[in-house]
Amino acid sequence: TQLLEQSPQFLSIQEGENLTVYCNSSSVFSSLQWYRQEPGEGPVLLVTVVTGGEVKKLKRLTFQFGDARKDSSLHITAAQPGDTGLYLCAGEDSGNQFYFGTGTSLTVIP
């Protein structure tokens, strides 16, 4: 079993603030995905990173894959209430199986 730890578990911030959430593991992954899950819905894929050190930007969201492909971070600039949700990371092992983290629940207060 591949363990993916996400931190913080809960985060509540004011609109306009910046934040970073983390996804850490002792295992190496061939790729890593970030999802956002809104209440009452299933997770929706935000990004896939595959190369160590890779940085991808999606509007105000910046995703980074660690050099050793064991960890990842998600940085949100100027958070908005629409960013509220559960952020999940999922690492893919060499056998094409994905392992999900426990998630970071983000609340952005207007």
| Least distance from another protein to the Cβ atom of residue 83, Å | 19
Binder of another protein out of 13, 19, 28, 50 (CB under 8 A): 50
Q: What are phi and psi of 63, to 5 degrees?
A: -115, 140
Binder of another protein out of 34, 54, 69, 101 (CB under 8 A): 101
Closest CA to 36 of 107, 108, 103, 109: 103
Binder of another protein out of 7, 20, 24, 31 (CB under 8 A): 31
Options 16-24, 58-66, 67-75, 84-92: segment touching another protein (CB under 8 A):
84-92
Given the DSSP bridges, would you call strands 5-7 and 55-58 parallel, antiparallel or unpaired?
A: unpaired
**Residue 59: which residues within 8 A CB-CB, separation 6 or more?**
none
